[in-house]
Structure 1
Amino acid sequence: MRFFVLCILAWLPLWKVGTVVAGLPVRPPGTPTVRKHLVYLRDKANTPYSLSAPQRFLTARSLARRTHQNISLLPRDLPVDPAYVAQVQAVAGAKVWYTSRWFNAVVVECDSTVLAVVQALPCVRSARTLNRSAATSAPLPVQAGAPVAARPAGTRADYGNAYAQAHQIGADVMHDAGFRGEGMHIAVFDGGFPGVNTGSVFASLYQQNRLASVYNFVGRDQNVYQYDDHGTLVLSTLAGNQPGVFIGTAPQATYYLFVTEEVASEHPVEEVNWLIAAERADSLGVDIINSSLGYNTFDAPSVDYAYTDLDGRTALSTRAATVAARVGMLVVNSAGNEGNNRWLYLLAPADADSILTVGAVDSLGTRARFSSIGPAADGRLKPNVSAMGQQAAFVYPSGAIGRGNGTSFASPIAAGLAAGFWQAHPTLTAQEVIDYLQRSASQATAPDNLLGYGIPNFGRAQQVAAGIPLPTAPVAGVGNLVHLYPNPVPAGAATCTLQLPAEWRAQPLEVRLYDARGALVSALTLPAPNAPTVQLPTTALRPGVYSCRVGRVGQPLYTVRLLRL
């Protein structure tokens, strides 16, 4: 677990709990080590579930989300075959914790001897060890919060210290327009939510019945109001709703609080908790997932990820986030706080395509030095956008207002903007919401791997959605300008023209096109044109928005946007 709070008020260290937990039983010498394992099953050939009867495993809200976005049900949506689960459970010493529809797998706790028996079952394809077992903390009592009087938000005084982060992205304008997240369902994955059940800033969640579900995937219970307070801080930037004290960016949304992070250790089991939580969110009909989490290094014996693994296809959590996006949820994830250390780059699952990865800026819009940079290992632009994560305001479990640094805060602040904008445009798909927010951002015409498309803004996104052209500027080349025209490219046009700076005309060029999800569409290496323009083929491009990255071979690439009608 890597919580993306770089520091709180600059004097607390990056959150990390030691692995010594008082009161845990000591394992006698020679006793096999019990670990959790992800056991992949062979198929779903004989499952009693059917895609023609999805109401057996998906709620009406989940199905409606798919229907609205024209997303078909696929075999991955089917639950695992219960007969296979029964076979695994029948092995003495094997404890099944969870099943995964998307990965067709079960999470099994057992020692290595039992695992060998499980792997020999005809229904099992393979297995991957996730962690060492660890006891969970005792739950704390749940208490009801006191109600607060509601009144419209809109003034600086209403937001308190949260004003700058809301105003920077136009969330205050969004709220005044009547879009505070009403009807939007947001799941927050984190390590604990102490004080949420007692804090005044969260009281309206209970008063208005907007806390739809809570679950602790570490302990398999509903004790979420304990453990680390990182989740509380993150949630406050979204759901805080105490006018005159603190208002988050989606103060009227409906929330789901899911604990996915182990307290005492760091292993890939947390990524599987993320997966299972995402499947739960999907089945319940959640619209948006906020995950201020990331993974790259683990405790022994688990193997660390390398930067080359952050290719959108390798990390467990990345694969889970990708499927979550494929089923129509908008996944918003912190980029990470690695920008000023040796790692530099984003962490999993921020490398997933089709999700909104968020970097951090300060109140003036300057990139926070700690904010992780892109690209993803396969060259895709990351982060997608950025929001305030340096000296961002939040609420402690005690109710005190604090400030801290981390993309942990940039992510939920941006997620609240996405919720309000989606509420304002309910016919959009999740991917269209991402596209509009990117097009609204401060450097939409010149995205880079530091801030992505820049800082999104509700007002500008409204203009884009209404078809009102935004003022744009071409991307600066080496002493000249890079242009693509005509842009938009008309339907049926076979080519578009790329105008080149003089410095590029005598060298081979590299051109890469990425679609709105960040997937690579084409990669071209062109011979030295020795001309001011070259023609790029567009016949194979479907209608949509593309990022065209172009430059001299072996040199940094510049990015310009291309719209295909």
Structure 2
Amino acid sequence: MKHLLVLFSALLFFLSAAQAQQTGGGTTEEKKHLIYFKDKANTPYSLQEPQRFLSQKALDRRNRQGISLTVRDLPVNPAYVDRLKQEGVAVWYISRWFNAAVVQCTPEKLATLEALPFVKSTQTVNRVASPQQVLDSKITVVKHASSADATLESKDYGLAYHQADMLGADELHKAGFRGEGVTIAVLDAGFPGVNTNAAFAHLFQDQQLKGTYDFVSRKADVFGNDSHGTSVLSTMAAYAPGKLVGTAYKANYYLFRTEEAASEHNIEEINWLLAAEFADSAGADIINSSLGYTTFDAPSESYTYNQLNGNTTLVTKAADFAAATGMLVVVSAGNEGNKPWRYISAPADADSVLTVGAVDSLYRQASFSSFGPTADGRIKPDVAALGQRAYFLRADGTLVRGNGTSFSAPILAGMAACLWQADYSKTNLEMIGLLRRLGRNASSPNNAIGYGVPQYNSTVTALPGSITGDGLSLSNPVSGNELILTVGDNWAKQSSVVHVLDVTGKLLLRQVLPASQSRHEIVLPPQLFPQGLYLCRVSSGSRNSTLRFVKL
């Protein structure tokens, strides 16, 4: 099998950074610095030729959401990078959003760089350089049988059923929305066991794993280091019926290591930025980040609560830039609710991200879940999901329980992927607004759980035009007595039977649909269909599909 764990074609749009890297001889005096450039003047890149630096999927996402390209999308002027290299410094990465480069050099060499006419400013992002790593993309993948297309029952979710059910993710799956076609980039500290665990076999067999990269060690292999990312990923992507089924097990994934678990420095915020830029270039729809930053190891300077105003920290700026490209950025609120800090962390303070707090199985705020508001007074978190005694997989495949907004965020991100699949015309900010409106606490949001836990059963009232799934399209909401059902070619080849039921499952109407007809008008008797939520179940041979609609 041709494995997927190399830098894929999408990385071609990031090659300007990779080609700028050098192997610098590290000494104890060398540090990493962010070198900001003054402009992108005389760049060989043009907004009229975006295919040179963005994938078609990235351009499609922008076009779908009406987002215009800006100078921020242009790569850094390569002449500036070449000049840095001529000065004898190691250039690790470059950032088009920040118009900057990450270099490794001595204080004396830094002073030389600061004097260059195109350099705007500099910032030290770690104390000493990380050890140089050998680039190696040879990865062993253990093959397992995979069949992630079976119809699921509640028992298939195993002990983790409630964390999906409380969001209605299981109902989304039944309706045919399992994340297909939606791409999620996971930024974390490592993913050991993902390439050997049977619960992730479908990601390889069905080519759902689109790429990996370790921004800490500069290599393709992310299947080592801290297992936090494996646990996070399992809540979304695992498919192990009877044990754990993730909330978006059919979505596509990019896995990026940005976190060096052994220490905490600003360089990790830059790694986050670089991974987000790559996610954008590759065409990801959603970023999940179960990471947060407030306190750093000396001599890096820690943040204060007053700096969590949505505009100050490096990673918060990066998160808002990511959102500006149309990606839905889902971040953990933090686990400081019962600690002296108490408040959310960065980038949870960003105004364009979906910040997720944690609740217990009874929808009550988990004691550790960080509080809002942001320093400038905005409500945070936005929503919440199960994070107290949530189920996830360890690197060895063991199912365990644990606490943290690290789990509530990806559980919610997976549900959001399925929901977005149901109405792909929505923008990322419209998705945030929709999820807020669907929260159990939407009428009285607070700084403990925000708008509360979103629930899918209410979403049909907010989906414009039609609900679609499995080749079917249904008018929604219905204001009169005529329900319009459109069937795809596969359904139209033979006759179908429509059953309309109320939410309790009571059959209200049965109608046979003739073959070779794509549009059907179903009359709903007024005496049987007052205002409310209904189910439309379509059957043809061995095929079955259920859609929901609202009668106004």
Question: Against the structure 1 CA distance between its residues 466 and 50, is the aligned structure 2 distance closer, same or farther, given a 3 Å change threshold?
Answer: closer
Deviation of 1:141 after TM superposition, in Å, equals 5.0
- In structure 2, the partner of 1:386 is 384
Match in the other structure for 1:79: 75
Q: CA deviation at 1:122?
A: 1.1
Q: Which moved more, 1:180-189 or 1:144-153?
A: 144-153
Structure-2 residue corresponding to 1:96:
91
Alpha-carbon deviation of 1:206?
0.3
Question: 2:125 touches 2:266 (CA, 8 Å); kept in 1?
Answer: yes
Alignment TM-score, normalising by the size of structure 1: 0.76
| Mapping of residues 60-139 of structure 1, within 5 Å | 60-92=56-88, 94-131=89-126, 132-135=128-131
Letter of the aligned partner of 1:133 in structure 2?
A: A
For residue 266 of structure 1, report the CA deviation from its aligned partner: 0.7
Shift of 1:120: 1.1
- Distance of 1:352 and 1:239 partners within structure 2: 26
CA distances 1:322-368 after superposition (whole Å, capped 9, x unpaired): 01001100000000000001000000000001110000001111110
For residue 150 of structure 1, report the CA deviation from its aligned partner. Answer: 3.1
Q: Which residue of 2 aligns with 1:352?
A: 350
Q: Where do residues 250-265 of structure 1 align in structure 2 (5 Å cutoff)? A: 250-265=248-263
Match of 1:46 among 42, 45, 59: 42
Partner of 2:522: none
Asked if the contact 1:260/1:274 (under 8 Å) is kept, the reply is: yes
Quick one: distance in 2 between partners of 1:419 and 1:149? Answer: 20
- How far apart are the structure 2 equivalents of 1:279 and 1:71? 16
Alignment of 1:116-265 (within 5 A): 116-131=111-126, 132-135=128-131, 142-265=140-263
| C-alpha contact 1:150 1:243 (8 A) present in aligned 2 | no
Q: Cα offset for 1:147? A: 2.2
Counterpart of 2:413 in structure 1 is 415
Task: Tell me the distance in 2 between the aligned counterparts of 1:467 and 1:455.
Answer: 25
Q: Would the aligned equivalents of 1:335 and 1:372 in 2 still touch at CA under 8 Å?
A: yes
CA contact (8 A) 2:133 2:218 kept: no
In the alignment, the residues of structure 2 paired with residue 70 and residue 460 of structure 1 have an alpha-carbon distance, to the nearest angstrom, of: 27
SS state at 2:177 partner: coil
Amino acid at match of 1:100: S
Note the aligned Cα RMSD (angstroms). 1.7
Whole-angstrom distance in 2 between the partners of 1:72 and 1:327: 9
Q: CA deviation at 1:466?
A: 5.1
Kept after mapping to 1: 8 A contact 2:259/2:268: yes
Q: Give the superposition deviation at 1:243.
A: 1.8
Letter in 1 for 2:35: V
Q: Which amino acid aligns with 1:403?
A: R
Shift of 1:463: 2.3
Task: Give distance in 2, aligned partners of 1:85 and 1:142.
Answer: 35
Which residue in the other structure is 2:454 paired with? 456
| 5+ long unaligned stretches in structure 2 | 1-25, 467-552
Tell me which amino acid in the other structure corresponds to 2:292: G
Q: CA deviation at 1:384?
A: 0.2
- Number of the residue aligned with 1:489: none
Once the 2 structures are TM-superposed, how far is the Cα of residue 136 of structure 1 from its aligned partner? 6.6
Q: 1:59 aligns with which of 55, 75, 96?
A: 55
User: Normalising by the residue count of structure 2, what TM-score does the alignment of the two structures yield?
Assistant: 0.78
Q: How many residues align?
A: 439
Q: Deviations over 1:479-530 (max 9, x none)?
A: xxxxxxxxxxxxxxxxxxxxxxxxxxxxxxxxxxxxxxxxxxxxxxxxxxxx
User: Residue type matched to 2:458 in 1?
Assistant: R
Following TM superposition, by how much is the alpha carbon of 1:115 offset from its aligned partner in structure 2, in angstroms?
0.9
Please tell me whether the aligned partners of residues 136 and 218 of structure 1 are also in contact (alpha carbons under 8 angstroms): no
SS at match of 2:35: strand
In structure 2, how many angstroms separate the alpha carbons of the residues matched to 1:461 and 1:271?
35
The aligned residue for residue 506 of structure 1 is: none
Aligned match of 1:36: 32
Q: Which moved more, 1:178-187 or 1:141-150?
A: 141-150
Gaps of 5+ in 1: 1-26, 469-565
2: CA distance, partners of 1:412 / 1:65: 21
Distance 1:154 1:95 in 2: 52
Q: Percent identity?
A: 54
Per-residue Cα deviation, 1:156-176 (whole angstroms, up to 9, x for no partner): 210012201000100000000
Structure 1 distance, partners of 2:139, 2:248, is 27
CA distance in 1, matches of 2:374, 2:207: 40
Partner of 1:435: 433
Give the aligned partner of residue 324 of structure 2: 326
SS of the aligned residue for 1:166 comes to: helix
Structure 1 SS opposite 2:159? coil
Provide Cα deviations, 1:73-111, integer angstroms capped at 9, x if missing partner: 00000000000011111112x100111011100010111
Instruction: In structure 1, give the amino acid aligned to 2:261.
Output: V
Q: Secondary structure at the match of 1:161?
A: helix
Q: Distance in 1 between matches of 2:113 and 2:140?
A: 39
* 1:40-74 deviation per Cα after TM superposition (whole angstroms, max 9, x unaligned): 00100111111011110000000000000000100
Q: Which letter maps to 1:97?
A: W
Structure-1 residue corresponding to 2:521: none
Equivalent pair of 2:214/2:258 in contact (CA under 8 Å): yes
The question of whether the paired residues in 2 share the 8 Å contact of 1:191 and 1:229 is answered with yes
For 1:424 and 1:136, the matched residues in 2 are separated by: 45
Other-structure match for 1:301: 299
Structure 1 residues 189 and 56: alpha-carbon distance in aligned structure 2, compared to 1, 3 A threshold? same
Q: Does residue 274 of the first structure (1) align with residue 272 of the second (2)?
A: yes
Relative to 1, partners in 2 of residues 1:46 and 1:137: Cα closer, same or farther, differing over 3 Å?
Answer: closer
Alpha-carbon distance between aligned partners in 2 of 1:153 and 1:359, rounded to the nearest angstrom: 31
Deviation string for 1:276-305 (max 9, x for gaps)? 000000000000000000000001100000
